[in-house]
């Protein structure tokens, strides 16, 4: 898509004022009834809860669950249904990466235009139809197609994501190739890639891929092999011999900060070695675009993992990037079980959890130790508190234990 076309898409479109006090008061009451947990709210101040017999202690990370961007996206989706109670409403895929939340959106009669739960086509839409853009944003070509139809947008794109877009658009204007640390197939990264317009981009996921790019910058290589290795992860017409001379690093906002920083460090060193330290700023740029809420949850988990724990439970959608990174962090320290809800805790002998390496659910037996234990719990930014409460109560039920009310002050 040309830069002119991008500029047109950034111009004002038909707007709806969904955040009116009368609307939001009703919406927030509905959202709280669906997703809030009084128990988790009460525990949060103390960061832990224990059983009356002292044999079970559950410690929560200081930061977990819904972030502001997720809350805003859900509020706007609910508000759209409130303002348009009888009108067809469509959404571009999942509002966030949490199955329970997305089930609730579908239960309100909001139809999905893309994704695994797709039940409508762009061709079904007509002028004036309401389309929700998820928190991840959407590709410019998709938005342009819907604008041409005269659709009305409810844009829930996260502000942190739009900050990344601003960076890659600037890179493109300056004829700098965007190196995006992220997952090329992820909705957010696809949306970010589209923001480069007539400029170029390359998506790298791992440090191994980063090293491959660095080696090409320094030593050259087979262009066809390069393009084959990054098939589906680069802009149309990308030429590594031409488009790696000036690069700027950006990222999917939910990546691990330390890994993104290492990506930029290695690329900066390669450009410095290639062009000289004095000239590196002419060939390399970097801006910190990690989501603040993502970082807060990662920092909180680091602190939790420094405490004595028997194991860690990570709660959230399996396709949630920020949640998966929390599970990765846990796995590096102690037994970690990544579950999407309490129903995955089958019994005190059996738990079904997501295997990050095989990308599928797996079953672990004899997972819950006997005797005195301390369990760590955290949750991704798209996980509602009611699912965290369900998990806490499930653990207490399995141990035939009662919550020590002195640790859970009444409201």
Higher pLDDT, 115 or 185: 185
Model pLDDT for residues 335-361, shown as the tens digit of each residue: 999 999 999 999 999 999 999 999 999
Whole-number pLDDT of residue 308: 97
User: Are domains 37-67+292-407 and 68-158 of this chain identical in fold?
Assistant: no
Nearest to 137 by CA among 97, 191, 185: 191
Fold of 160-286: Cobalt-precorrin-4 Transmethylase; domain 1 (3.40.1010)
Cα gap 126→111, rounded to integer Å: 14
Mean pLDDT of 289-318: 93
Per-residue pLDDT band for 11 (boundaries 50, 70, 90) equals very low
Which are the contacts of 111, defined by CB distance < 8 A and separation ≥ 6?
88, 89, 90, 91, 119, 120
Cα gap 321→408, rounded to integer Å: 31
Whole-number pLDDT of residue 77: 93
Model pLDDT for residues 148-166, shown as the tens digit of each residue: 999 999 999 999 999 999 9
* Residue 259 a catalytic site member: no
What dotted CATH number matches 37-67+292-407? Answer: 3.40.1010.20
Question: Which residue out of 71, 188, 389, 406 is catalytically annotated?
Answer: 188
| CATH number among 3.40.50.11270, 3.30.2310.20, 3.40.50.720, 3.30.450.70, domain 68-158 | 3.40.50.11270
Mean pLDDT of 365-373: 96
- Residue 314: CB atoms within 10 Å: 30
Per-residue pLDDT band for 13 (boundaries 50, 70, 90) equals very low
- Residue 388: CB atoms within 10 Å: 26
For residue 12, pLDDT over 50 is answered with no
Per-residue pLDDT band for 16 (boundaries 50, 70, 90) equals low
Which phi and psi (to 5°) does residue 181 adopt?
-80, 110
Q: pTM of the prediction? A: 0.85
Q: Where are the domains of the chain?
A: 37-67+292-407, 68-158, 160-286
Lowest mean pLDDT among 100-109, 118-127, 165-174, 305-314: 118-127
Mean pLDDT over the full length of the chain: 91
- Residue 190: CB atoms within 10 Å: 19
Listed ranges 16-20, 61-65, 125-129, 309-313; the one with the highest mean pLDDT? 309-313
């Amino acid at each position: 898509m040309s830069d002119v076309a991008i500029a047109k898409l950034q111009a004002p479109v038909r707007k709806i004022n969904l955040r009116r006090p009368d609307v939001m008061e009703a919406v927030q009451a509905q959202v709280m009834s669906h997703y809030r947990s009084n128990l988790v709210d009460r525990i949060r101040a103390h960061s832990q809860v224990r059983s009356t017999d002292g044999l079970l202690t559950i410690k929560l990370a200081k930061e977990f669950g819904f972030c502001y961007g997720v809350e805003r996206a859900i509020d706007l989706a609910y508000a759209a249904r409130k303002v348009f109670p009888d009108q067809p409403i469509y959404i571009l895929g999942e509002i966030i990466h949490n199955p329970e939340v997305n089930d609730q959106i579908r239960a309100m009669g909001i139809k999905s235009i893309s994704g695994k739960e797709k039940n409508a086509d762009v061709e079904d839409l007509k002028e004036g139809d309401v389309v929700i853009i998820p928190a991840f944003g959407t590709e410019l070509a998709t938005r342009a197609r819907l604008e041409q139809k005269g659709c009305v947008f409810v844009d829930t794109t996260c502000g942190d994501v739009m900050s990344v877009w601003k960076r890659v658009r600037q890179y493109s204007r300056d004829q700098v190739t965007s190196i995006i640390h992220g997952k090329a197939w992820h909705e957010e990264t696809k949306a970010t890639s589209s923001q480069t317009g007539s400029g170029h981009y390359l998506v790298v996921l791992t440090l191994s891929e980063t090293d491959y790019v660095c080696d090409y910058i320094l030593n050259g290589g087979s262009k066809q092999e390069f393009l084959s290795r990054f098939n589906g992860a680069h802009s149309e017409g990308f030429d590594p011999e031409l488009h790696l001379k000036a690069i700027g690093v950006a990222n999917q906002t939910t990546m691990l900060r330390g890994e993104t920083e290492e990506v930029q460090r290695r690329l900066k060193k390669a450009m410095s070695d290639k062009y000289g330290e004095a000239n590196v700023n002419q060939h390399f740029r970097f801006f910190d675009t990690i989501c603040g809420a993502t970082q807060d949850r990662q920092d909180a988990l680091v602190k939790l993992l420094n405490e004595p724990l028997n194991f860690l439970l990570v709660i959230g959608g399996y396709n949630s990037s920020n949640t998966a990174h929390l599970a990765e962090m846990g796995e590096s320290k102690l037994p970690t079980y990544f579950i999407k809800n309490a129903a995955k805790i089958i019994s005190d002998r059996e738990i079904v959890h997501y295997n990050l390496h095989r990308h599928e659910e797996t079953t672990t037996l004899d997972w819950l130790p006997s005797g005195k234990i301390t369990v760590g719990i955290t949750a991704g930014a798209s996980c509602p508190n009611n699912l965290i409460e369900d998990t806490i109560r499930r653990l207490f039920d399995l141990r035939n234990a009662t919550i020590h009310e002195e640790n859970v002050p009444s409201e």
